[in-house]
Chains A and B, each alone.
Chain A
Amino acid sequence: MFRTDYRLEIKKRDWLLVVRLFGEIDHHSAVYMREELDKLILKERPRRLVLDLSCIEFMDSAGLGLLMGRLRLMHDIGGVMALTRPNERIMKILRLAGMERFMEIDGEGAKGDR
């Protein structure tokens, strides 16, 4: 039970890629999530990537690094990235880091998931 379990659920439509993340994001799991997300991004090359955080129960500053890194990669391939449905606790750390200045949070992302 103490191994950090994580899982990705992927939905794709045209240029839009929606990835729902499951589990806890800490320094331990971020390494694996980073690898999988990058593989996926480089394979699909979406114009818009939406990360659905609704099933993330815990996230610390390693998650901030993970999100900023994927944002950078999306910019590198000429796309944009947004976050959708973070819970209150996760929103608190996103806000602390000023993430809403760098990426859209919720709004359009929620539409993409429908």
Chain B
Amino acid sequence: MDMKAEKRFRDEINQMELVLPAISVNEGMARAAVAAFCAQLSPDTTELADIKCAVSEAVTNCIVHAYKHKKGNFYITVSLYSDKTVRIAILDKGCGIPDVRRAREPLFTTDSAGERSGMGFTVMENFMDRLTVTSRAGKGTLVVLTKRLGRLATEE
């Protein structure tokens, strides 16, 4: 399928925006809200679990790393497309990541005392189809997760 054709089939059909304070109780809230919104594309239970997990990782990063448990908000935009693609953008206005490539390496963590697994980005990468991380020191970080649902059902 060429790019043009792909674009044509990818009309945005719905969008949700969510602003929440970066406190840990909101992790469950954020992933539940995103999952509930994505449910209209009828994902299977594995796809939904993958999305919940990826969102949870991104939100943890906002709380622990971007704002370092200080005050701040994170902003989630979920877009649903007609080809059953989900795009989830998670933005924070925290400290930023100085070396994104290094941060994305499995087991890398800046907080070894906190019993972190260093697997956050690895989980996001593996549980979604695509992960992009854009960051600027002192400005914040944008994480974009995309996943196309119902792959097995439509391609078989």
Contact = CB atoms under 8 A, between A and B. Distances in A.
Interface of A: 2-4, 24, 26-28, 30-31, 34, 58-62, 64-66, 68-69, 88-89, 92-93, 96-97
A96 B25 contact: no
B25 A4 contact: yes
B64 A61 contact: no
Interface of B: 24-29, 31-32, 45-46, 49, 52-53, 56-57, 60, 63-64, 114-117, 119-120, 122-123, 126-127
Given A60-B60, A61-B120, A96-B122, A28 B25 contact: yes
A97 B24 contact: no
Given A26-B56, A27-B63, A60-B60, A34 B115 contact: yes
Given A26-B27, A58-B49, A97 B115 contact: no
A65 B114 CA distance: 9
B32 A2 contact: yes
B115 A24 contact: no
Given A93-B53, A97-B117, A61 B27 contact: no
Cβ-closest 3 pairs across A and B:
A28-B24, A64-B117, A61-B119
B119 A64 contact: yes
Contacts of B28: 2-4, 24, 26, 28
A58 B29 CA distance: 13
Per DSSP, chain B at the interface is: helix
Nearest to A60: B56
B60 A62 contact: yes
Nearest to A59: B53
A26 B60 CA distance: 9
Contacts of A62: 60, 117
21 contacts: A2-B32, A4-B28, A24-B28, A26-B24, A26-B56, A27-B56, A27-B63, A30-B115, A59-B53, A60-B56, A61-B117, A61-B123, A62-B60, A65-B114, A65-B115, A65-B117, A89-B45, A89-B46, A92-B127, A96-B122, A97-B117
A113 B25 CA distance: 32
Given A2-B28, A60-B53, 12 more contacts: A4-B28, A26-B28, A27-B27, A27-B63, A28-B25, A28-B28, A30-B115, A58-B49, A60-B57, A60-B60, A62-B60, A97-B119
A54 to B, nearest CB: 16
B119 A3 contact: no
Contacts of A27: 24, 27, 56, 60, 63-64
